[in-house]
């Protein structure tokens, strides 16, 4: 398959990538303003923090798989990482629609560290959306050279989001009521 054809296959997805990259953060932000008076059967923050930890592990395993030329394993792990990220997002939104936000109670330098990690986590979680989608599209359209190129950026961004999500949870966990 020639490069022009692969690029045109990618272009079919561009509108969807742009729409999802804008709509997902806007919907999440809008849903934060919606409060539902429902008591969830389980306390979600440790669950979705665990999903973040599992996502980080899966990303690292996928990286190792591709380094060892285990392409099918890499592909399955990456699809699993996407599923985990969507599952995290659904649970995160559900929790925040049914519970009040928890205030961080730390003081001094730890407070600044927490807010730095939280802010960069939030910003990177928004920024990583188009990177993940573009990287995935380049893989499924078999544009492997371009896939590799953007994956070098996507992987550390996505890993940062997953790991900092766990750090944020660990730091705020003592303040949950």
Its domain, for residue 125, covers 42-175
What average pLDDT does this structure show over 169-173? 96
- CA 25 distance to own-chain centroid: 11
- Contact assessment for residue 55 and residue 85, using Cβ atoms and an 8 Å cutoff: yes
pLDDT level of residue 172 (50, 70, 90 thresholds): very high
16 lies in some domain: no
The 10s digit of each residue's pLDDT in 151-167 is 999 999 999 999 999 99
46 lies in some domain: yes
151 lies in some domain: yes
pLDDT level of residue 22 (50, 70, 90 thresholds): very high
17 lies in some domain: no
- Contact assessment for residue 58 and residue 22, using Cβ atoms and an 8 Å cutoff: no
pLDDT in the model for residue 3: 53
The 10s digit of each residue's pLDDT in 83-127 is 999 999 999 999 989 988 899 999 999 999 999 999 999 999 999
The 10s digit of each residue's pLDDT in 58-75 is 999 999 999 999 999 999
SS3 36: coil
32 lies in some domain: no
8 lies in some domain: no
- Contact assessment for residue 95 and residue 48, using Cβ atoms and an 8 Å cutoff: yes
Q: Is the pLDDT of residue 18 over 70?
A: yes
pLDDT level of residue 2 (50, 70, 90 thresholds): very low
- Selection from 176, 167, 67 nearest residue 110 by Cα: 167
13 lies in some domain: no
- Contact assessment for residue 45 and residue 166, using Cβ atoms and an 8 Å cutoff: no
Taking the whole predicted model, whether its pTM rises above 0.85 is answered as yes
144 lies in some domain: yes
94 Cβ contact partners less than 8 Å away, ≥ 6 residues apart: 40, 44
Percent of the chain with pLDDT over 70: 96
User: pLDDT averaged over the chain?
Assistant: 92
The structural domain count of the chain equals: 1
pLDDT level of residue 15 (50, 70, 90 thresholds): confident
């Amino acid at each position: 398959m020639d490069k022009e054809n692969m690029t045109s296959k990618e272009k079919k997805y561009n509108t969807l990538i742009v729409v999802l990259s804008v709509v997902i953060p806007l919907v999440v932000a809008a849903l934060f303003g919606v409060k539902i008076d429902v008591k969830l059967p389980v306390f979600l923050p440790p669950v979705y923090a665990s999903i973040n930890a599992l996502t980080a592990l899966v990303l690292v395993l996928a990286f190792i798989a591709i380094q060892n030329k285990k392409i099918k394993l890499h592909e399955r792990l990456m699809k699993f990482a996407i599923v985990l990220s969507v599952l995290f997002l659904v649970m995160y939104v559900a929790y925040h629609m049914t519970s009040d936000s928890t205030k961080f109670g730390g003081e001094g330098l730890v407070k600044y560290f927490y807010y730095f990690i939280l802010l960069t986590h939030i910003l990177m979680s928004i920024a990583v959306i188009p990177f993940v989608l573009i990287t995935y599209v380049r893989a499924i359209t078999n544009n492997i050279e371009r896939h590799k190129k953007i994956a070098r950026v996507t992987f550390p961004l996505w890993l940062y989001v997953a790991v900092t999500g766990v750090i944020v949870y660990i730091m705020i966990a003592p303040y949950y009521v």
